[in-house]
Structure 1
């Protein structure tokens, strides 16, 4: 089978969303090790192969999305074609845009999300290029932290997810979790995103909660109508708040002092 025909077969497989027998050398696996109640959604983007002068409209080159219905059908492993063809134009994988979702309650809106990514190039400086072990696996790392705040007149707790990369020295980065590879590294290999959850949660932003033994207390502000309720130097008047499960509490996260 020629390379061109292989690419056409790959393109047809994606378009039909059906199972096809693809040689291992034409795909790689993306997977993730995540904390409990975490999932990821992956959108895979393709660009014309090196040396090609053809172009494809975005409408004809839509990104395949893995785990789009993450609530109903989540699979940690995604088998990603390296090549595909659209409108007769040979394409290669260029990047994976990742959205990390985590749930913290039973309501449909009780989730937070943040993003991560994988970039793929023909050439790359070695200091940025990911490496693979003897088993053909490569990892990149990150940490997510819950940031809590209150909304509404009852001051219900909602949480925001804040994810950052971890560098080779184990230091937390200012940027999102990310991996980087060159195209020739990928055939038959596995790329793994490993995310850990920070032990401590933090307020969504400053001067709204006060750290006390056992947790955090919510500043009263001007009253329950005051949605932002900054402390503004008043660190003695606090309000109750509602946990996602409906409990009325005075200290987060333990609820009662």
Structure 2
């Protein structure tokens, strides 16, 4: 009975040693982690109760130099390079400025920026679940595509985002909740009423022209709200009223509509946004 136990202990020891060795190697490599000297600046403005996450993603230049052992699984995988930055959440309109490196390095593993994922998060209440986010991004190619926007003479470029709240009765919390939808309006901050025809929040740029430049991102909160699904609320002079769905699982309102109450901030309501008529 002692031999299997010894083999088990031996296996555990080897596994622990292997894990310790792996962690020691990664710890040593982390000391060499560094960003390149060239970067561009992502700066802009956010509405009250909004924050931004910018996740810079890098592609390795030589996979052989960027292999990481998969602990617990045989083989290796290519190292993932991501630098994530977050702005603060404030109860008033505020500005931000983030430096996005164009290259990143760990040991002998070199990588280049290929995308900055943007996540705009808005809060519409004090509860932890009363928030939602919508994504966009800055794609980075080796050179700027022919029809991509150009930087101004001062080295800056404007990127606009309009974020609209879409309300619904949550099936999870059984009260009014909201979804966030962000899109890119034109230079006059106007856009198509049809959500499917709106442009996504983002732009494609060339890495060879980004060093030292500034992308100015301004996010605005659309004052107009709408239901998250068509024909689930009816708009009346006193506001939006939710209606009972059609029999058989259809989400759309019955005809004629049969209105129902909903809960909002601990109150039973008949109309949004004023709660009572």
TM-score by length of 1: 0.77
Q: How many residues align?
A: 231
CA RMSD in angstroms, aligned pairs only: 3.3
Answering whether residue 176 of structure 2 is matched by residue 157 of structure 1, we say yes
**Aligned counterpart in structure 2 of residue 186 of structure 1, from 173, 197, 210:** 210
**Aligned counterpart in structure 2 of residue 122 of structure 1, from 142, 164, 185:** 142
**Aligned counterpart in structure 2 of residue 213 of structure 1, from 229, 237, 245:** 237
More helix per residue: 1 or 2? 2
Q: What CA distance in whole angstroms lies between the structure 2 residues aligned with 1:127 and 1:104? A: 37
Answering whether residue 88 of structure 2 is matched by residue 66 of structure 1, we say no
Q: What CA distance in whole angstroms lies between the structure 2 residues aligned with 1:182 and 1:64? A: 19
**Aligned counterpart in structure 1 of residue 40 of structure 2, from 12, 21, 28:** 28
Q: Residue 176 and residue 43 in structure 1: after superposition, are their counterparts in 2 closer, same or farther (change >3 A)?
A: same
The SS at the match of 1:253 is coil
The answer on whether the counterparts of 1:43 and 1:97 sit within 8 Å (CA) in structure 2 is yes
Residue matched to 1:142:
161
The answer on whether the counterparts of 2:244 and 2:254 sit within 8 Å (CA) in structure 1 is no
Q: List gaps (5 residues or longer) in structure 1.
A: 1-7, 15-21
Q: What CA distance in whole angstroms lies between the structure 1 residues aligned with 2:32 and 2:249? A: 51
The answer on whether the counterparts of 1:145 and 1:201 sit within 8 Å (CA) in structure 2 is yes
The C-alpha deviation readout for 1:178-218, integer Å capped at 9, x for no partner, is 02211122112211222222221110102211010132001
Q: What CA distance in whole angstroms lies between the structure 2 residues aligned with 1:97 and 1:199? A: 26
Q: What CA distance in whole angstroms lies between the structure 2 residues aligned with 1:188 and 1:153? A: 46
The answer on whether the counterparts of 2:33 and 2:107 sit within 8 Å (CA) in structure 1 is no
Q: List gaps (5 residues or longer) in structure 2.
A: 1-28, 68-76, 192-196
Residue matched to 2:3:
none
Q: Residue 169 and residue 256 in structure 1: after superposition, are their counterparts in 2 closer, same or farther (change >3 A)?
A: closer
Q: What CA distance in whole angstroms lies between the structure 1 residues aligned with 2:170 and 2:249? A: 7
The SS at the match of 1:184 is helix
Answering whether residue 121 of structure 2 is matched by residue 101 of structure 1, we say yes
Residue matched to 1:238:
259
The answer on whether the counterparts of 2:143 and 2:209 sit within 8 Å (CA) in structure 1 is no
Residue matched to 1:13:
34
**Aligned counterpart in structure 1 of residue 66 of structure 2, from 46, 51, 56:** 56
The SS at the match of 1:255 is coil
Q: What CA distance in whole angstroms lies between the structure 1 residues aligned with 2:127 and 2:120? A: 18
